């Protein structure tokens, strides 16, 4: 019987079209799944969408449609994107699927009845967009430690999970199972920052919105989106709903949960503790990959640097996108994607190294032998080197894939292809072709090249499956064995087709500009559609107007025009910018959590509005106490996916003037 291998991706939030970062994860998991299938495992590959939560409820409300209508639309986009990149999943779960909701209700009930979940009152700092409560120590300057937006003080009835009860067992499991979380540094962070200092009980319900799985018997509350989402890994196998539970029995425990670095905490602490409480074995491994950044910048809509796999595939082909993302993401750190680096990798690795090797070899076989594969009868020492390189590469690819060093596996294959190109230069087939005496040697050289290409295509098949299939078809074989010598002599190779056409930079950027124009047009159309829906529904939800204040109270807030003299990013902080502001009569130092929305360069010299009489506060900045004296006024920030915008004074406004 085949050994089983169960692997999963994180299920992306069903809030919009998935970008290349989310899509990278499914490509990565797909490459691992294809590799394991090739190695003879009985693979079950699960992916899906995370469809509940306040963000979705709010977005749907803004569009005047029901949350279900909203997620149905986004789900179709995720499914199409996964299909485009060739994700070979065995199951796609949606957290709004009936069986999943039913199972989540059952899981919650079980945990409540056995006393692991209890009802109490929560008092803490709540971040609306993140749907998370935070403790005093986690909140700095009244801002959410995850997204940097303001948190609010909130008290509510809620249900709690006794995390602390299981912390020691989890720690023991981690100590006894090296490799439970990879890369190791990510685990250390979890153990030292969360587990060792002591776990707090986790609030596992919300009552501020309704788009979620209701708490059984107390339907004012919905189950926390993470409890709902994490359960997908077992409910998809029929846990709690399928009486027989065949899939669950067969595939659980999961062999690897493939997730991004930002959600390692949920997968290495909350998820294992849920499973311990349910008496279910823990997953064997959690692999937290890095993030794909646009150059060195985080991809974000507000920065306008978000890339999508479908648009990239129009420019580089699906395998171009798969190859680039898989090779550009190192095992433990972040990866970078830019058009220039994609063009360079495409031309150097795919067009030159791989594409030319295949077309040169197949063309020579046609020219010299009418495409018939020759027997390797005239070996020389140099052939041994090539064969040894192939054998070493095969071993290296297995070693790297078994430890999830996927980009290293790919670069080993491309090193082998370079070696084969060098072999052509060393053996000079065009010289051998000049004499009948060297015909047998020429046939041997071409056999060795074709065979290296065949093994190469076999090794490449998990990463760039379409290209690998095309190469094998050109060689006239479907033999995927990784042993050198499997290619059958006497058969014919096919026509050398251009696998990857070199990209001309100038032409590329013209195509990109045309695509961007078109995308902007499409976006505009989509926006118009949304506007129509909104108008029809006429129910955009605005924050209620705050309690009335009298004028005398209003003027207590002293707002002034201030000029930005200096502005710089705060090292190691994703949120903060440090300002020196000129008020005319004095200069002030102010820290503001707007780094996500503005770069320092665009603010220097601008005139902003600041609250000049806000009590100064001391902030801990990289270990030093620094004063923030005043507050810069901005719009937005409370709603999910906020667009935070500073309020600027007119260019000719007087610095230091009051705003009233
Ligand atoms: N819904 C949760 C996951 C629940 S799993 C039980 C979630 N969704 S997400 O849409 O924000 O992210 C989905 C996955 O994409 C996560 O693993 C996340 O780390 C990953 N990525 C998001 N941006 C990414 C990049 N820029 N690069 C690589 N992966 C990225 O979290």
Find out whether the beta carbon of 225 lies less than 6 Å from any atom of ligand 1: no
Q: What is the mean pLDDT of residues 586-611?
A: 91
Q: What is the mean pLDDT of residues 2-12?
A: 97
Find out whether the beta carbon of 12 lies less than 6 Å from any atom of ligand 1: yes
> What count of other Cβ atoms lies within 10 Å of the Cβ of residue 242?
15
Higher pLDDT, 300 or 215: 215
Convert the pLDDT of each residue in 370-384 to its tens digit: 999 999 999 999 999
DSSP for residue 97 = S
Q: What is the pLDDT of residue 536?
A: 47
User: What is the spatial distance between Cα 32 and Cα 404, in angstroms, rounded to a whole number?
Assistant: 8
The Å distance, Cα 502 to ligand 1 centre, comes to: 33
List of residues 6+ apart from 400 with CB closer than 8 A? 406, 408, 409, 412
Phi, psi of 120 (to 5 degrees): -155, -160
**pLDDT above 50: residue 537:** no
- Mutational pocket test of ligand 1: of 25, 29, 85, 87, the residue with most ligand atoms within 8 Å of the beta carbon: 25
> What count of other Cβ atoms lies within 10 Å of the Cβ of residue 400?
19
Find out whether the beta carbon of 288 lies less than 6 Å from any atom of ligand 1: no
What is the DSSP secondary-structure string of 567-578?
Answer: EEEPTT-SS-EE
- Mutational pocket test of ligand 1: of 260, 305, 640, the residue with most ligand atoms within 8 Å of the beta carbon: 260
Kindly report which listed range (229-233, 241-245, 422-426) carries the lowest average pLDDT score.
241-245
Find out whether the beta carbon of 297 lies less than 6 Å from any atom of ligand 1: no
What is the DSSP secondary-structure string of 258-319?
Answer: EEEGGGHHIIIIIHHHHHHHHT-PPPS-EEEE--EEETTBPP-GGGT----HHHHHHHH-HH
The pTM (predicted TM-score) of the whole model is: 0.79
- Taking the CA of residue 262 as reference, the ligand 1 atom at the shortest distance is 19
The Å distance, Cα 258 to ligand 1 centre, comes to: 10
**pLDDT above 80: residue 638:** no
**pLDDT above 80: residue 130:** no
Find out whether the beta carbon of 347 lies less than 6 Å from any atom of ligand 1: no
Convert the pLDDT of each residue in 185-211 to its tens digit: 899 888 888 888 889 899 899 888 999
- Taking the CA of residue 261 as reference, the ligand 1 atom at the shortest distance is 19
Tell the residue nearest (CA) to atom 16 of ligand 1.
260
Find out whether the beta carbon of 230 lies less than 6 Å from any atom of ligand 1: yes
Q: What is the pLDDT of residue 544?
A: 65
User: What is the spatial distance between Cα 322 and Cα 287, in angstroms, rounded to a whole number?
Assistant: 19
Indicate the average pLDDT of the chain.
Answer: 92
Helix (H) or strand (E) holding 645: strand 645-646
User: What is the spatial distance between Cα 186 and Cα 193, in angstroms, rounded to a whole number?
Assistant: 11
Residues 88 and 43: beta-carbon distance below 8 Å: no
Q: What is the pLDDT of residue 24?
A: 98
551-659 folds as OB fold (Dihydrolipoamide Acetyltransferase, E2P) (2.40.50)
Q: What is the mean pLDDT of residues 174-193?
A: 92
Residues 423 and 386: beta-carbon distance below 8 Å: yes
Residues 239 and 247: beta-carbon distance below 8 Å: no
Band (pLDDT 50/70/90 cuts) for residue 639 is: low
CATH 1.10.730.10 applies to domain 338-475:
yes
Convert the pLDDT of each residue in 476-497 to its tens digit: 999 999 999 999 999 999 998 8
The Å distance, Cα 48 to ligand 1 centre, comes to: 12
Q: What is the mean pLDDT of residues 578-593?
A: 93
* Pair of tokens at residue 53: 């939560």
Convert the pLDDT of each residue in 312-354 to its tens digit: 999 999 999 999 999 999 999 999 999 999 999 999 999 999 9
Share of the chain above pLDDT 90, in %: 75
């Amino acid at each position: 019987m085949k050994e089983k291998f169960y692997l999963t991706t994180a299920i992306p939030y069903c809030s919009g079209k998935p970008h290349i970062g989310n899509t990278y994860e499914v490509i990565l998991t797909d490459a691992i799944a294809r590799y394991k299938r090739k190695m003879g495992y009985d693979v079950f590959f699960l992916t899906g969408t995370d469809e509940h939560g306040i963000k979705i409820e709010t977005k749907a409300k803004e569009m005047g449609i029901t949350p279900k209508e909203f997620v149905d639309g986004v789900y179709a986009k995720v499914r199409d994107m996964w299909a485009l990149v060739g994700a070979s999943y065995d199951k796609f779960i949606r957290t709004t699927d009936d069986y999943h909701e039913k199972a989540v209700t059952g899981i919650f009930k079980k945990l409540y009845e056995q006393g692991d979940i209890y009802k109490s009152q929560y008092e803490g700092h709540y971040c609306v967009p993140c749907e998370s409560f935070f403790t005093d120590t986690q909140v700095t300057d009244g801002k959410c430690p995850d997204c940097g937006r303001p948190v609010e003080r909130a008290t509510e009835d809620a249900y709690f999970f006794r995390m602390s009860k299981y912390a020691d067992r989890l720690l023991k499991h981690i100590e006894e199972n090296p490799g439970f979380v990879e890369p190791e540094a990510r685990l250390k962070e979890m153990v030292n920052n969360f587990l060792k200092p002591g776990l707090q009980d986790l609030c596992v319900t919300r009552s501020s919105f309704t788009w979620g799985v209701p708490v059984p018997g107390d339907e004012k509350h919905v189950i926390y989106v993470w409890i709902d989402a994490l359960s997908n890994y077992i409910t998809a196998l029929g846990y709690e709903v399928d009486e027989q539970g065949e899939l669950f029995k067969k595939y659980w425990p999961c062999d690897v949960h493939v997730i991004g670095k930002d959600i390692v905490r949920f997968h290495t602490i909350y998820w294992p503790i849920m499973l311990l409480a349910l008496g279910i074995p823990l997953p064997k491994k959690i692999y937290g990959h890095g993030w794909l950044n646009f150059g060195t910048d985080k991809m974000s809509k507000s920065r306008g640097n978000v890339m999508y796999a479908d648009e990239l595939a129009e420019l580089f082909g699906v395998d171009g996108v798969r190859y680039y993302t898989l090779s550009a993401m190192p095992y433990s750190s972040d990866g970078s994607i830019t058009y220039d680096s994609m063009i360079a990798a495409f031309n150097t690795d795919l067009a030159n190294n791989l594409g030319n090797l295949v077309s040169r070899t197949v063309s020579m076989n046609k020219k010299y032998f009418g495409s018939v594969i020759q027997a390797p009868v005239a070996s020389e020492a140099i052939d041994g080197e090539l064969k040894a390189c192939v054998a070493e590469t095969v071993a290296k690819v297995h070693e790297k894939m078994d430890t999830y060093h996927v980009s290293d596996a790919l670069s080993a294959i491309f090193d082998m292809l370079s070696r084969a190109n060098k072999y052509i230069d060393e053996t000079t087939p065009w010289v051998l072709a000049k004499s009948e005496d060297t015909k047998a040697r020429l046939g041997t050289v071409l056999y060795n090249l074709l065979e290296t290409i065949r093994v190469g295509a076999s090794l490449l098949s998990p990463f760039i499956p379409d290209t690998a299939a095309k190469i094998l078809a050109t060689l006239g074989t479907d033999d995927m064995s990784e042993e050198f010598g499997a290619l059958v002599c006497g058969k014919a190779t096919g026509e050398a087709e251009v696998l990857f056409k070199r990209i001309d930079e100038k032409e590329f950027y013209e195509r990109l500009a045309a695509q961007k124009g078109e995308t902007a047009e499409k976006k505009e159309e989509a926006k118009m559609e949304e506007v129509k829906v909104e108008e029809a529904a006429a129910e955009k939800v605005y924050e209620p107007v705050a309690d009335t204040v009298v004028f005398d109270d209003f003027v207590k807030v002293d707002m002034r025009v201030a000029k930005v003299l200096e502005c710089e990013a705060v090292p190691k902080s994703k949120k903060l910018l440090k300002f020196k502001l000129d008020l005319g009569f004095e200069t002030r130092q102010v820290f503001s959590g707007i780094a996500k929305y503005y770069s320092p360069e665009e603010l220097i010299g601008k005139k902003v509005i600041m609250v000049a009489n806000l009590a100064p506060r001391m902030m801990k900045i990289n270990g030093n106490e620094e004063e923030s004296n005043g507050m810069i006024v901005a719009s937005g920030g409370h709603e999910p996916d906020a667009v935070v915008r500073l309020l600027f004074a007119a260019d000719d406004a007087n610095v230091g003037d009051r705003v009233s």
